[in-house]
Amino acid sequence: MTTKKSKLFYFIPYSMWILLFVIAPILLIIYQSFFDVSGHFTFANYQTYFSSGTYLQMTISSVWYAFLITLFTFLVSYPTAYLLSKTKHKQLWLLLIILPTWINLLLKAYAFIGIFSSNGNVNGFLEFIGIGSKQILFTDVSFLFVATYIEIPFMILPIFNAVEEINPSYISASTDLGANAWQTFRRVIFPLTLNGVKSGVQAVFIPSLSLFMLTRLIGGNRVITLGTAIEQHFLVTQNWGMGSTIGVVLIAAMVIIMLLTGEKKKRGRKMK
């Protein structure tokens, strides 16, 4: 009995946190989304969202950029995580990869402004090799580049853990049964790291949907995502109802992503 009680006791801080900072805000946002600028109850916000082309286009563009960021992050992270698990001092390397996540996002963004600006390091190099200065900052490419750079550690970590968890005798077994290195990768290693990939996709795609700081600082507001739109509604146009509506849509999108990539409780994942 006492153990049950004490377990409950330890659960209190966590449930308070969830209640105050997750559940309450979500309920507030949903509530808010049903009011117009002058404070009257309405469904108009949702109507506007789904009927006006602008918001839908914004949604599509958000998803598209989030998809690209996730894709590039994956393309860089998978080989890195895989090779990392084969290196000698993997914990050290891993630390070096995680280290940048400890630095504030804004700081990193400003650092990139310095690097990409018209008299920054990259353009300096381009001039040096004779190509000449280019507009790098405020382009889609630089936005994707920086976003990918920032998200990479969040993808590497779960994939690395999944690769590490693979029992080396599975690889021996695959070779023993005649598979070459590529076949072993495709049929044994990759499927067994799929859950790591899914976690990585979740960790990258969902935040990427609502990136707004980078869109301004690096993308120069050329890239408009739902995150940018929410920020504008709350801070500039003061249309909290519309901002909340977009927020609700984003939350719905996240839930859908979670469901799609979530672990289907397949029996037989672990056997040890």
Give the residues lining the site for other proteins (CB under 8 A): 167, 169-170, 172-180, 183, 187-188, 191-192, 266-271
Closest CA to 58 of 255, 260, 253: 253
**What's the min distance (Å) between Cβ of 198 and other proteins?**
13
3-state DSSP of 53-93? HHHHHHHHHHHHHHHHHHHHHHHHHHHHHHHHCCCCCHHHH
Name which of 149 and 185 has its Cβ closer to other proteins: 185
